[in-house]
Amino acid sequence: MKIFALFFTFIYISLTTFSQEKFQLVTGFLGSFEKEVISNKGSQVYGALGLNLGTRFSQAKGDLDVSLIYQFSSNVVAYKSNIYPNEEHQYIVYNSVLRSHFSGLSLKYTFNNKDRDRKIKPFIFLSTLTEITSNYKKGYLLDNEFIPKNESSATYYYPSIPGGEYTVDYYYSNFYHSTPLASSLLGGIDIKLNQNLSLNIAAGYAFRVMKVKYAEWKENEDVYKKLETIPTENVFSHFLDVQLGLSYAFPLKKTSKLTNSP
């Protein structure tokens, strides 16, 4: 909650400091696609939809948008395994299992280059989010890849005779706990569709910190009770992030001074 208090304090100070010609209310909608590239085994893929609301501070050289963001995020790739090692295992695309709600702050700086009427302008975008809630807490994750998985892994006693049954020695798995940090640093272009509405296209780097727990347990053991005493571990992941969105700046209301007739 501290992050929201700081944001609204900043907005209040800004509103009382700058004249009406210097700021305006902005809102936007964006979609993003993140593909893990240089960490773990590069298997994590996320899609997200977001809404933002904030304030734009305008100067001759550029516009600075400071916004509060809500984002809904979901995995794109999951892993399906079977109990026995000789059965089929496969990756499944577009299988939404891990669904999370995020909130945070963003900064967007659009370069005017002293020409505010240009239809296409470059910008840089920075966001920092934290997970509010997720439906997948204590859900299975694939070892070393950290994508959702339908079953835990296991070690087996192999049958001593052909056609015999496999016997489980113990189960093991990583479990999802939370994502306390999801941040992005992007560059893109702002395409003006009309006086107040713009199309935003951007790409760049994204970083996530995922908290997980690892456990091993026997068949008759309650793993979820065991997880309560196991500390979390941090998993650091690096992504290529592509975003597409719309932003709308509410028109400024110009005021005129009233003069009395002599």
pLDDT of residue 39: 85
- Encode pLDDT of 11-21 as tens digits: 555 555 444 44
pLDDT of residue 151: 84
- Encode pLDDT of 96-132 as tens digits: 899 999 999 999 999 987 667 788 999 999 999 999 9
pLDDT (mean) for 22-37: 92
26 has pLDDT over 50:
yes
pLDDT (mean) for 215-239: 93
Report whether 109 contacts 116 (CB < 8 A). Answer: no
Does the predicted model carry a pTM greater than 0.85? no
**Of how many residues is the chain composed?**
262
Lowest mean pLDDT among 26-30, 111-115, 245-249: 111-115
What whole-number distance in Å separates Cα of residue 56 and Cα of residue 37? 33
Using alpha carbons only, give the angle 151, 139, 222 rounded to the nearest 5 degrees. Answer: 75
In the chain, the percentage of residues whose pLDDT exceeds 90 is: 56
What whole-number distance in Å separates Cα of residue 53 and Cα of residue 189? 20
